[in-house]
Amino acid sequence: MKLRILLFVGLLAFTSWEMSYAQGSLDVKALIEQMTLEEKERVVVGSEMEIPWSEGGSTGVGQVGGEVPGAAGKSLTNKRLGLNTVVFADGPAGVRIDPIRPNESNKTFYATAFPVATMLASSFNLELMKEVGTAFGHEAKEYGVDILLAPALNIHRNPLGGRNFEYYSEDPYLSGKMASYFTQGVQEQGVGVSIKHYAANNQETNRARVDAVITERAMREIYLRGFEIAIKESDPWTVMTAYNKVNGAFASESEELLTTILREEWGFDGFVMTDWFAGTDIPGQLKAGNDLLMPGTPGHKGLIVQAVKDGKMSEEDLNKNVEAILNIYKQTLEFKGYESSGSPDLKASQAIAKKAATEGVILLKNEEGALPLASSAKLALFGVASYETIATGTGSGNVNKAYSISIAQGLENSKQAIHSELQEVYTQYIKKTREDMGPKAWSFGPDKILPEKIWTQEEIAAFVAQSEMGIFTLNRTSGEFYDRQQGYDFYLSQEEQDLIKNISAAYRAEGKKFVVILNIGGVIETQSWKEYADAILLMWQAGQEGGDAVADILTGKVSPSGKLPMTFPNYYMDHYSSRNFPGRELVDNPYPSPFDAVESEVIYEEGIYVGYRYFETFDVGVSYPFGYGLSYTQFEFSDLKAAMTDEGELTLKCKVRNTGSKAGKEVAQVYVSSPDGKLEKPAKELRAFAKTQSLKPGKSETLIFELNAKDLASFDSATSTWILEKGIYTISIGGGLHDLQLSDSVVLKSGLEVMKTSKSMAPKREIDVLTKRKD
């Protein structure tokens, strides 16, 4: 009788937990006390590769909750405890799921392909970024996705980084702010994000085995700073660890990264998950603070249980992992019983995608008012990408979209006349060449860029005679698993160079203009050929609405307002990081492949001098500087007022006026030159920015910036302290790094210790890093 009563009480207890789960509340600690060791293991392992589990039928593997085909992963269920499936989906450029679902042939589930992250950062518009995040969150919500595997905010350390298009910038402040506002937008929809890849995941070559050797100061100021900003300002639900090692330890096994810095110093209270199949020491990952192992494999079954029994990790440590995960799971839409409609408002998302693309387009050159186009101009569109415009990169940054608008389609939608015979020739050329090349080997592999069609000078001359302007679109793509190359990637092929020169010469000979559009995901060389173009428009990979967005810029419906989030160097080797990218392999690798990574290391010899910090400090010429971007109108900055308190708080105020003849937006960029003292400083560092509203000619807007001491501080590795050194701080404001119209100075009379940290992430050996000091 007593046994029956106990069983009845136990059944009531578990029934109450299941009811509380459905009602949106859960006492996680109490639940953990009642869980078996095997059940705890089920929580910390994902289920994309479903783990067989049938001991006595006490826990069911049957799928409870939503199924989303094409999602990147999901949690294991537990019927006894009422723990349903939590769904994770890729999302750097849109919710990546399958558009077709079994038994639903009458309906599709296409997601919106938004501009790639680099293009979003080019907008320098935080409120727009939040709008984009809201649209992402809405689509995820209605498609049954609980956690979005985005944003990605690793640094553009080198131009050849294969996933740079998924990341925002070479600048950590810009990266962190964009990620923060995106996260706020997504999570306001009840969908979580997973900020990734934490940390120093700046290359694809040997990414699962490479050891990134970095100084403490560079780690804190460059590679962790963006994560710190986003985590403190937007409270993301989850963080995803990187594949690579950092200073000798895998990121997913580093207690200093995951516990000391992330949780104890920054106050992160969500859970941490691995990148898919990352790391080697499972108990070590969990003990370090990497709570969830994704995507989960059959080999995980029983491994953690045995590790606890063998004393390789304590059950108390495992309980911490379980608690962190369940505290987030109970916030999910699945936990709250939300029934997704499968029908998000895609029209609204598409409008936001177009708006974001339009604001991210960058006008690099515009001689003698070549743009905007005259409404009556007949255009000859050259280049494969004019008709087959690339919307996104490949791999997990791809999106299964319903359509993608090419440049040609966008111009036609804008009622702009384009040369129909030339269009037909390219259409047939693309079709035939695609058929000859065949499909790519696997979906995550790099897209195949078609070779350009070669034209004789006589053929070009005929097209010139039948058009008022020539436009040539150059394309590039990249993606997961592969870094880019110098030849026929960063640099143009000889055929591309010759095409640009020949088309340019033919149009200029007739007194007509020639425009180049760059449909690319990362930096390319422009110095050697930009003189041949009257205008250059950088459209990036603008998502599915790219063609319409570019048409709005070309026709002058919208004035371009995008700015470069990274530097375009004159030559690849001008980047200091190019001297060691992507590092050296420590063992022989006779048959290299993206899956068979080998032990390797890359020493970040440039230290803090990444991107424009290097080019500006060491006076290295560039083709286009960070923050650069032209407009169809002009802006004047005035009335700068700057004041700094003894506590290092800086207040700035300035006015931006449209002095041109067209409406437009301007990005006010604030750069600070800090005094060299105990620590040397870069020549200039971006410390704040703001985008104006659309200003009509003659109208102005007053901008106010408030920066605290941490915003201005540098990291002193010797004392593990963020500090402000005494001396003169020069503040410069303008529309770009090389367009700083205003400057003022403030004085900090006494140095300040802003924030004490732990001694963490120190390299295990001395690194001979770049310095501007002669000693």
Cα–Cα dist 110/139, whole Å: 10
Residue in the structure block whose two tokens are 């048959």: 591
The number of beta carbons lying within 10 Å of the beta carbon of residue 771 is 11
CA-nearest of 577, 719, 693, 581 to 635 is 693
Which two tokens mark 615?
């080019």
β-partners of residue 731 are 672, 744
Cα–Cα dist 389/179, whole Å: 26
Type of residue at 742: L
Active site residues: 275
Cα–Cα dist 116/397, whole Å: 8
Do residues 89 and 83 lie in contact, with contact meaning Cβ atoms separated by under 8 Å? no
Do residues 564 and 623 lie in contact, with contact meaning Cβ atoms separated by under 8 Å? no
Instruction: Report in angstroms the alpha-carbon separations of 527 from 366, 490, 596, 625, 732.
Output: 15, 12, 36, 12, 27
SS3 assignment, position 32: helix
CA-nearest of 759, 768, 728 to 744 is 728
Cα–Cα dist 722/714, whole Å: 5
CA-nearest of 303, 277, 332 to 46 is 277
Which two tokens mark 744?
């003022």
Do residues 65 and 84 lie in contact, with contact meaning Cβ atoms separated by under 8 Å? yes
Which two tokens mark 328?
């987030």
Q: What is the DSSP letter of 105?
A: T
Cα–Cα dist 247/589, whole Å: 22
Cα–Cα dist 460/468, whole Å: 13
Q: What is the DSSP letter of 522?
A: S
Q: What is the DSSP letter of 394?
A: B
Backbone phi, then psi, for 78, in 5-degree steps?
-150, 100
Instruction: Report in angstroms the alpha-carbon separations of 442 from 204, 297, 446, 480, 488.
Output: 17, 22, 9, 12, 22
